[in-house]
Every structure is written in C-alpha cells, then in structure tokens.
A and B are shown apart, each in its own frame.
Chain A
Amino acid sequence: MKKSLLTLFALMLALSLALAGCSSGGDSSKGGDDDKVDPNNVMIYGRGGDSVALDPAVVTDGESFIVTEQIYEPLVNYGKDNTDIVPGLAKKWEISEDGLTYTFELEEDVKFHDGEKFNADAVVKNFDRWAQSKDGEKFAYYGSMFGGFEGDEGHVIKDVKAEGDYKVVITLNKPQAPFLKNVAMSPFAIASPKSLDGDKLSKEPVGTGPFKFKSWKPNDTIVLEKNADYWVKDMPKLDGVTFKVIKDNSSRLNALTKGEIDLMDALNPSDMKKVSDNSKLQLFERPSMNVGYLGFNVEKAPFDKKEVRQAISHLIDKQAIIDNFYEGTAEPAKNPMPPSIAGYNDEIQDREYDEAKAKELLKSVGMEKGFTMDLWAMPVARPYMPNGQKVAEAIQAKLAKVNIKANIVTFEWGTYLEKVQKGEAPMFMLGWTGDNGDADNFLYTLLDKDTIDSNNYARYANEDVHKLLVEAQTTADEAKREELYKQAQVIIHEDAPWVPLVHSKPQLAGASKIKGFVPHPTGSQSFADVSFE
C-alpha cells in the first residue's frame, strides 16, 4: 500500500513537471538582483483586474496603463494633480506661430532599461512605428487622437524628424490644439528602439521609467523593481511596486486592513467610514475628470422632443442621488464635462428639481398624462456610477410623480454597451472618464454629429455645435478655444440630449505610512516619488 502511494505521488510530480514544461508562455520574467530589494520597501497595489498587455501603444484600458506608467515615459507629462503640460523626456519645447511645428529638446542622460541610449532617433522610431503601421486595431489610440495614420486624409502628424541627437521636430498637417495633451497620454510613451523589433513588448516592456519590469503571473501579480539608473535624481524612492489582482472590492479592503497590500483602488463608497475610522489607513480622493449621465436617444419618440428631455431634467434630484449612493463624494453635474477642464461654462444654470415645471413642459407638447418608457440601468460599477441599479430606482420613483412609468432594463455590460451604441436604448445611464484633460475629449467625442455610431450614444446632432467643436479643434489660441467650448455648452444645455448627473471623485485607500502619493485625474500616475514613512 505504502509503495503504491509513493508511486502515485511520484507520477503526479512527474506529470505536473511535464505540464509545466509545456507552459513556457504562462509567465515571463527577467533576471534581477533580488538581494538589493527590501521587501518592506516594495509597495503592493491592489486592484480589481489584470493588465491586458504591457505595451502602452496597443492597449486602451486603465489597468494596463497604471503599470506602463511606471515603466515608460512620454515626451511631456501632465502636472502632478492636473492636466497642465510639464516636461517629461523633453525638457523644453517650442511651438511655431502657425501651430504647425513642435520642436522638442530632449533630456540627454537617459537610458532605457535595456541599456540603450535615449535620443531623438528613439523618439522618431516610436512615432514611425505607430504612424506607418496604418493599423487602427493595433494602435487604436494613435488613430483616434491623431486623426488616423500616415497617408490618411485626417492624419494630424506630417512628419517626425531628428535634428541632431537630442532634438526632435514634429510637423503637423494642420494645427491640433490639444496636441501636447495628446502626446502626454500613456499610449504615446517612448519604448526602447531595440525592443520594438519583433512583438515582445507586450510581455517584456522596456522603457526609461522609474521602475523596471521583473515578472508577470497572469491574473495574479506584476512585479516591478527599482530602476537604479533612473535619470531623475533620488528617484524612485521605493525598491519596487507589485500589482496584485483582487477582484472583490471588500476582499481587497480586507487585504489592506491586514497589511497584505499597501494601496488599493475602487473603494466602495460605503466602506469609506471603515477606512477613516482605522488609524492605520488613509483615504485618497482622485480629482474628478469624469461625468456620469442619463442619455436620451434623441431619434426616438418621445425623446425626439426637446421639451420632454427638459422635463425629465427637472425630475432628477442629483443631490439626493449623490448623498445616497456616492456618500457625498461627487458633485452635481450641469455640463457634459467636469469643471476642472478648461472651457467649462460655469454660467450655465442647472435645471433645478421642479415637478411643477416638468408637468408644464410635458403639457406644452401634449404629454401631460405621462407615458411609459424603458430606462436602461448600468449593470456594473464604474467610478462615475457605483450602483447603477439603485440610482435607476431613485430616478424611476421621481418620474412616477408625473405619471411617467419607467421600466428598468439591464443587460450584461458588453451587451449593454453594444445595444446602446446601436441606438436601441431610449433612455440610458452611462458615463465617461477623460483621456487627456481636454474639452475636445468630452464634447466632440461624446456629442458631435461625427461620433454618432461611436461614442455619441444620444445620437445628438446639432450643426451649430459641430461647427464650434471643429473650429475649437484647430484653433491654437487657448482663450478663443475656451470661448468656443463655452458657446457649445450653452446650445447643448438648451437641447438637453443628456441629463448630466455627477462628476464623481473615485476613492482609494492606503496604509497610513504612504507618503507622496497624489492620485491623478486621468486615473493613473507614476509612483516615482511615493515613499514609505
């Protein structure tokens, strides 16, 4: 009996070894000098999902960017807690008067993690890789932020040239006002030219950033270690960062409370008190760069009537929604973009909660008896909408007061998005988190007639708004741009294709020993100057 057990165990061992041999691609790792790493000076970041890939140019999800942000750097950066442009790998830049030529002067003592020198050629090679690929599915962000690829009619970038070792000149086909803000986005970070050969970058990222890639256990952990040769003096302060996937928000908080992780994102608003009551923990609030909204399909009756949309706008009690479902961590929205973004029109008067006014508006179009409709509620929690079902129920109750019967409808998330995009939803909840802190990324992306069938889920088309938004895209003068966006918001407010609901402030929780962590409105930030007390 004993012998057979032993044989069985040996067989299992052999089998598992053999199986492991088959799975060389399961995780990838590079050698590193572990002996220098103090495990207590490594920050463990708990999050709800894994990265898709580690090549920032080919991904579009926040979970990928938060890792690539540590490994790579773009030419210019955003400010620490805003979207103003500050130097990155380029220490200085000049913009020609016609807004068509950008000359970047690069940092000189920078090395990639593979030892390659960072210089103008590296920048050119990266831009060429994106533009010449003509591959909208692979480099989705490049295509959408720069109007397509080399040879396309709308392509913004004419050419990218090296002038000497440390100067890069980017010439544009037409002025693009948010150009620098686009260049600062995570997908346009510069990778080592050597790493661009072949297709290894997604698994073996090589940048110039404060942390180097060490290993990746899919759906579990991504380990980064300190880049000892980092070009910024005295940075990074941590010996490494490990990203750990814990899907459930409550479990993640349990792991934080126990000290197994040091920082976590996506804290449930209802758990905020648990964190603030615990002296070993601290709360962080991400500045809002999002909008949660209730959209109407303006092509569908009765929402093709402006008065009906305005009436419903008067029936949404935003403050009550914020108090009940956001624990107060959001501000009521009146425009389709948050106040932190240049061009926000603060003079617009929000439609107050007013049943009488709503009834009056409905009466003006002969709908005083009310009607029945479908209200589509989000099935998943998003930073701008922590609990779609509950918010939908609150809205449903208010609509009932003027005899509007709303049936709450929901689908699994992928299906929901697809159906809303196809225009199947008469009234739906959705939201948007900005990419680059520019008004264009809200107003044009979400409400221009060009983006119907794409992100303009309300299918809203207004020729005047379109003219203003397109003019703003090509105007270099910032003050004039802001004026154009303000005008557009006035028209949008009047037309009411949406009821803007909230600008939420996503909450993070961390150990109290964390110093220097400033959550960025874009949703990800470098941990270079984060330290433990």
Chain B
Amino acid sequence: MFAYTIRRLATLVPVLLGMTFIVFMMIRAIPGNPAQLILGQQATKEAVAALTQRLGLDQPWYTQFIDYLTGLFTGDLGVSLKTNVPIAEEVWPYLAATIELAFVAMVIAIVIGVNAGIISAWFQNSWFDYTAMVLALVGVSMPIFWLGLMEQYVFSIHLDLLPTTGRDNIRVPVDPITHLYLIDTLIQGRMDQFAEVVKHLILPGAALATIPMAIIARMTRSSMLEVMRSDYIRTARAKGMKMFWVVYKHSLKNALIPVVTVIGLQTGLLLGGAILTETIFGWPGIGTYIYDAISYRDYPVIQSGILVVATIFVLINLLVDLLYAAIDPRIKFK
C-alpha cells in the first residue's frame, strides 16, 4: 500500500506538468494584453510597452514557460499582475473559503444523497423512489444561478431565516486565523460567530450541493439495487434479519464502492466549479479568484490557481483509491 501510494504520487508529476503546459498555452492564446488591462484606458502606448517588458510578456513563450517552471520547483507560484502580491501568499484565504464551502456542500450532498438513494432502492418503485429520482433529475439540470437567487428570495427575504450573502456577519466580522471560519470561531471561542458562519454556509452550501447530491442519489440507488439482488443479501433476508440491518449493514458497504468514486470526482469538481455559487453569494473563494484573473489576463494567477485546484483534484482521486481498500479488503494494490 505504501509503495503504491508513492508510485501514484510519482505519476502525479507528469500529469500536473502536462496540465501546466496546456493551461499555459491556452491562456496565451486568449487575445488581450495584460499590460493594457492593468493600466486601463488612460495609459499611453509607451507605458503599456514598458509594462509588457517588465512583466516579461515580450519574451518567447518557451522562455516564459521555463521561467515559470523554474519558479514552481522552488515553490514560487509567481506574482499576481493585478495586486503585485506573490500568489503563494494570497491564495490561501481564497482556497480556504472554497474548501469550507465545498466541505459543507459535500456533507449535505452525501448525507442526503446517499440516504435518498438507499431509501429509493429499499422501496423501489414506491412514491418516494419516483419523487426522489424526479427531484434528482431536476437537481442535475437546475441552473445554479437561478437556484441561488431563488434560495435567497425564499429563505432570506421572504422567510427571513438565513443571510443572503458573505461568509460572516459583516457588522461583526470574524478575525481570520486559519481562514477556515468554522475553525477560527471555535479557536476564538466565539460561539455567536460560529453560529453566524454556519448560517452563512447553509444557502450557498445547499446550492452547490444540488448537482452532486442528485448524482450521488442516483448512483447509490442503482448500486444498492444491484447489491440487494445478490445471493448473500437474499440469504441474510431468508435468515429473518431485519430489513434495516440488511440495508445499512450488509448492502451499503458493498454498494458504497462506486459511490465513493463519484463522491471523489464530485468533490474535485466542486472546487473548480464553485464560481457561480461564489458569484451569487458574495463568497470570496478560489473560483472567483481565478475568474477575476481571467478577465484581467492575470496570467500567473490563472496558471497557478488552476494548478492548485488541479493538484487538490488529483490528490482527492488518490485518496478515493486508497479508501477503496479501507471499505473493501478484497481490493489489493499492486
């Protein structure tokens, strides 16, 4: 297992290198000069030329790429063209915001999705099964933009239950330590602020959870149905075991293996795909950080931001593969 992990980690290097190269070439194919965008419409031609030179954008692409890679190997993610701050210094608060949001979204998606899938399988062809699967279909195809605004309208403005936007109460803001506000407020012993942070997480978390929840529910259902048709389940039921234990103890463990794959993939997707949710809910996360960088042609931020997200994505996939063994001892790594 240890050797396998090391080997998998080693194969990540060419994967990430290839991805870095593709992203590097792609963002340079977008027209639009960063120097012009940074200096604004007022800038003189000379100023734009000077900045282009200072940023090294007048160099051939391979020189720029080699410079970038050299930097990466020394832990230098580059400097944001917009803010002039090293990306390694400024990326964590954004990433933390998105991790916290994605974590909550995944908890919601897994708890509801897995259970809805199980119950649908258990009571196959019942009204619950049909309703859940129709909802799952709607969930997959629901535009997050619209859903987010509707959530705000119903739960914040109409019912006055939850806040509309942001991570904390702006009038009594959280002092960041780790930038994971759930943890920060606990460290500071501010239970009032902790409650605020939880409240702020619910609506964006639910919006972001919709698609993975629907996918997980459908996956769990079909996987459960398959397992429940197998001989050992029939035996367990024939022995008079209670249905609850048959489902949650014997079936679930085997049914979960494909579900875990889906959960892993969806978690990775959430990190990158949170842009719309972050935009609607005023959430200062990595999605909007990269999105802003694209409209600003902030090459280093686009490049390194995507690299950070991609790294997390592949690490999650690795984690999922390792989890297989924990769930199912029959799976052996070579």
A binds B: yes
Contacts from A to B (Cβ < 8 Å): 13, 16-17, 19-20, 22-27, 39-40, 42, 44, 49-50, 52-53, 60-61, 136-137, 140-141, 143-144, 202, 217-221, 223, 242, 244-248, 250-252, 254-255, 257-258, 260-261, 411-415, 417-419, 421, 432, 435, 453-455
CA distance A416 to B282 in the complex (A): 27
Kindly state whether residue B289 has any CB partner on chain A within 8 Å.
Answer: yes
Q: 18 pairs across A/B with beta carbons < 8 Å?
A: A16-B180, A20-B179, A26-B90, A26-B176, A42-B171, A143-B47, A218-B94, A221-B170, A246-B165, A251-B164, A252-B165, A254-B149, A254-B157, A258-B157, A260-B170, A261-B170, A414-B295, A417-B37
Tell whether A19 pairs with B178 under 8 Å between CB atoms, given A26-B92, A245-B284.
yes
Contact check, A16 vs B149: say whether CB atoms are below 8 A apart: no
Contact check, B165 vs A40: say whether CB atoms are below 8 A apart: no
Contact check, A251 vs B86: say whether CB atoms are below 8 A apart: no
Contact check, A39 vs B44: say whether CB atoms are below 8 A apart: no
**Distance from A17 Cβ to chain B, minimum over Cβ atoms (Å):** 6
Nearest residue (CB) in A for B91 is A23
User: Of B42, B92, B93, which is within 8 A of A140 by CB?
Assistant: B42
Q: Which residues of B contact A258 (CB under 8 A)?
A: 156-157, 160, 163-164
| 6 closest A-B pairs by CB | A25-B89, A414-B32, A60-B40, A136-B47, A246-B282, A23-B92
Q: Which residues of A contact B238 (CB under 8 A)?
A: none
CA distance A39 to B179 in the complex (A): 22
CA distance A244 to B282 in the complex (A): 8
Nearest residue (CB) in B for A446 is B41
**Distance from A13 Cβ to chain B, minimum over Cβ atoms (Å):** 6
Kindly state whether residue B39 has any CB partner on chain A within 8 Å.
Answer: yes
CA distance A49 to B83 in the complex (A): 14
Q: Which residues of B contact A17 (CB under 8 A)?
A: 177-178
One digit per residue, 1 when the CB lies within 8 angstroms of any chain A CB and 0 when it does not, for chain B 156-175 equals 11001001111100111100
**Distance from B50 Cβ to chain A, minimum over Cβ atoms (Å):** 5
CA distance A329 to B326 in the complex (A): 64
CA distance A217 to B42 in the complex (A): 28
Nearest residue (CB) in B for A214 is B173
Which of A23, A223, A245 gathers most chain B CB within 10 Å? A23
**Distance from B26 Cβ to chain A, minimum over Cβ atoms (Å):** 14
Q: Which residues of A contact B88 (CB under 8 A)?
A: 22-23
Kindly state whether residue B267 has any CB partner on chain A within 8 Å.
Answer: no
**Distance from A122 Cβ to chain B, minimum over Cβ atoms (Å):** 25
Q: Which residues of B contact A136 (CB under 8 A)?
A: 43-44, 46-47, 50
Q: Which residues of B contact A415 (CB under 8 A)?
A: 30-32
CA distance A49 to B282 in the complex (A): 10
Kindly state whether residue B96 has any CB partner on chain A within 8 Å.
Answer: yes
Tell whether A140 pairs with B165 under 8 Å between CB atoms, given A250-B149, A254-B157.
no
CA distance A61 to B179 in the complex (A): 28
Kindly state whether residue B297 has any CB partner on chain A within 8 Å.
Answer: yes
**Distance from B67 Cβ to chain A, minimum over Cβ atoms (Å):** 20
Nearest residue (CB) in A for B171 is A39
Contact check, A20 vs B177: say whether CB atoms are below 8 A apart: yes
Kindly state whether residue B236 has any CB partner on chain A within 8 Å.
Answer: no
Contacts from B to A (Cβ < 8 Å): 30-33, 35-37, 39-48, 50-51, 54, 82-86, 88-94, 96, 148-149, 152-153, 156-157, 160, 163-167, 170-173, 176-180, 183, 279-282, 284, 288-289, 292, 295-297
**Distance from A496 Cβ to chain B, minimum over Cβ atoms (Å):** 23
CA distance A42 to B171 in the complex (A): 7
Q: Which residues of B contact A411 (CB under 8 A)?
A: 31
User: Of B32, B84, B156, B167, which is within 8 A of A220 by CB?
Assistant: B167
CA distance A202 to B177 in the complex (A): 22
CA distance A42 to B172 in the complex (A): 10
Contact check, A22 vs B92: say whether CB atoms are below 8 A apart: yes
Contact check, B40 vs A140: say whether CB atoms are below 8 A apart: yes
**Distance from A4 Cβ to chain B, minimum over Cβ atoms (Å):** 11
Q: Which residues of A contact B179 (CB under 8 A)?
A: 16, 20, 23, 26
Q: Which residues of B contact A22 (CB under 8 A)?
A: 88-89, 92
Contact check, A254 vs B153: say whether CB atoms are below 8 A apart: yes
Contact check, B39 vs A137: say whether CB atoms are below 8 A apart: yes
Contact check, B164 vs A53: say whether CB atoms are below 8 A apart: no
CA distance A237 to B226 in the complex (A): 69
**Distance from A512 Cβ to chain B, minimum over Cβ atoms (Å):** 17
Tell whether A257 pairs with B157 under 8 Å between CB atoms, given A245-B282, A247-B288, A251-B148.
yes
User: Of B44, B183, B282, B296, which is within 8 A of A255 by CB?
Assistant: B282
Nearest residue (CB) in A for B43 is A140
Q: Which residues of B contact A53 (CB under 8 A)?
A: 83-84
Contact check, B166 vs A260: say whether CB atoms are below 8 A apart: yes
A223-B173, A248-B149, A254-B157 given. 4 additional CB < 8 A pairs? A19-B92, A248-B282, A414-B37, A414-B295
CA distance A73 to B61 in the complex (A): 44
Contact check, A247 vs B282: say whether CB atoms are below 8 A apart: yes
Q: Which residues of B contact A19 (CB under 8 A)?
A: 92, 96, 178
User: Of B39, B47, B89, B165, which is within 8 A of A26 by CB?
Assistant: B89
Q: Which residues of A contact B89 (CB under 8 A)?
A: 22-26
Nearest residue (CB) in B for A144 is B42
Tell whether A255 pairs with B165 under 8 Å between CB atoms, given A23-B93, A53-B84.
yes
CA distance A220 to B279 in the complex (A): 11
User: Of B46, B50, B153, B297, which is within 8 A of A414 by CB?
Assistant: B297
**Distance from A431 Cβ to chain B, minimum over Cβ atoms (Å):** 11
Q: Which residues of B contact A418 (CB under 8 A)?
A: 31-33, 36
Tell whether A60 pairs with B39 under 8 Å between CB atoms, given A19-B178, A44-B171, A221-B170.
yes
Contact check, A40 vs B171: say whether CB atoms are below 8 A apart: yes
Contact check, B93 vs A218: say whether CB atoms are below 8 A apart: yes
Q: Which residues of B contact A412 (CB under 8 A)?
A: 30, 32, 295
